Amino acid sequence: MIAGPARSARGTCVLCVLCGLPGSGKSTLCARLPSRTDPRFLQLSYDSLLPAVAFRPQDTTGGKVWTLFLRQLQQHRLLDPPWSSVKALSAKPQMPKTFPEQSPPGLAIILDDNFYYRSMRYKVYQLAREVSAGFIQIFLNCPLEQCLKRNASRTVPVPVMVLQTMAARLEVPDVERDWERESLHLDTSVDVEVVERFTYLGSDIHVSAGCDSEVNRRLGRAWGVMDSLDHGVWCCRYLCGRTKVRVLRSLVLPVLLYGCETWTLMRNLRWRLNSFGTRSLQGILGYRWLDFVSNERLLRETQMRFVTCIVRERQLRLYGHVAHSPDADPVHQILSVREPREWRTPIGRPRAF
């Protein structure tokens, strides 16, 4: 939700409000965001900025410092956030007067606080509207009992009375209001187990975002299908070679190439896939390992192609479907996304001096 037209030539900034009870998972969510490595994200946590006065019931300095911080963002138009000055906030309860560094375009400022009153969130919305920045709020929904259990395991827990009072006064974002229409509700009552790999739609998803494990798993399953058809089909004397090749295309290749449109194949994976195809054809045609038969001869006799050629054809076919999709489709828009500059590795030999 954009609170107003963009005035900055360097890109529109976005104010993201995280609201919810203490222990609902706001700090955990911020820890998973790339705010510490990506300069386009700036995380402002109330607990880390004001650790000494965050949960003192009789202290009134915290709210004033937080208000001064928002005013300083407003004064500098969200264009020069306090990258170095944010660290100074934890050392002294006063706001820095200057911003030493410039912010990158498209900056996202994440405000990590309870924001249990609607008026608290509305102040941030007014600030975003005045500076023509974007505004979005994320509500982390978690039962009070679960928040109390998580709060008890903290090093400095929030008083139980304060948490119960906050839960009674909590005002959930209402999507019927115009300025709260773009609100995201997350259910954090269930602890999600973090695993290195899982199966989604029949494909193996690994934490490394690579396809090595998926290709190895597909090769193992394809070899299993080949072994199951060994005595019944491949060794049958009543079936000609052309029929056996058709069985290979119908029963083995679909198991091997399931989801191959999303694979990123390196040299070793391409070699293993092509090796599977040629060795399978040798077994189908009855060639032994002592017989020297070139790959070109095998492909010519069976009218087959290398497995990597089939993979590339399927990938190009999928690319054609995506390219012909409507421009408003997110699948089509991702084609024009450019990788950030920090993702690119420097070219050339590094300097020795």
The domains of the chain, with CATH numbers, are 14-187 (3.40.50.300), 211-334 (no CATH)
Whether 139 and 19 have beta carbons less than 8 Å apart is answered as yes
Whether 136 and 121 have beta carbons less than 8 Å apart is answered as no
Q: Is the pLDDT of residue 227 over 90?
A: yes
- CA separation for the pair 150, 28 (Å, rounded): 12
Of 142-156, 183-197, 225-239, 310-324, which gets the smallest average pLDDT? 183-197
In percent, the amount of the chain with pLDDT more than 90 equals 19
Helix axes 160-169, 144-152, angle to 10 degrees: 150
Whether 211 and 264 have beta carbons less than 8 Å apart is answered as yes
Model pLDDT, residue 94? 40
Whether 139 and 173 have beta carbons less than 8 Å apart is answered as yes
In percent, the amount of the chain with pLDDT more than 70 equals 74
For residue 134, the cross-strand partners are 2, 14
* 3-state secondary structure string across the chain: CECCCCCCCCCCCEEEEEECCCCCCHHHHHHHCCCCCCCCEEEEEHHHHCCCCCCCCCCCHHHHHHHHHHHHHHHCCCCCCCCCHHHHHCCCCCCCCCCCCCCCCCCEEEEECCCCCHHHHHHHHHHHHHCCCEEEEEEEECCHHHHHHHHHCCCCCCCHHHHHHHHHHCCCCCCCCCCCCCEEEEECCCCCCCCCEEEECCEEEECCCCCHHHHHHHHHHHHHHHHHCHHHHHCCCCCCHHHHHHHHHHHHHHHHCCCHHHCCCCHHHHHHHHHHHHHHHHHHHCCCCCCCCCHHHHHHHHCCCCHHHHHHHHHHHHHHHHHCCCCCCHHHHHHHCCCCHHHCCCCCCCCCC
Structure token pair of residue 57? 């019931």
Give the position of tokens 């045609």: 285
Task: Dump pLDDT digits (tens) for 107-162.
Answer: 788 888 888 888 888 988 888 888 788 888 999 888 888 888 888 888 878 888 88
CA angle 121, 126, 129 (to 5 degrees): 125
Whether 14 and 1 have beta carbons less than 8 Å apart is answered as no
* Residues 246-266 as b or e (16 or more Cβ within 10 Å = b): eebeeebbeebbeebeebebe
pLDDT band with cut points at 50, 70 and 90 for residue 341: low
Task: Dump pLDDT digits (tens) for 71-105.
Answer: 555 554 443 443 333 334 334 344 333 333 455 56
Q: Following CA atoms 81, 87, 90, 92 in sequence, which dihedral angle do they give, to the nearest 10 degrees?
A: -80
Structure token pair of residue 21? 């009870």
Q: Is the pLDDT of residue 1 over 80?
A: no
Structure token pair of residue 97? 């007067």
pTM of the model: 0.53
Q: Following CA atoms 123, 26, 174, 11 in sequence, which dihedral angle do they give, to the nearest 10 degrees?
A: 60
- CA separation for the pair 53, 32 (Å, rounded): 25
Whether 135 and 15 have beta carbons less than 8 Å apart is answered as yes
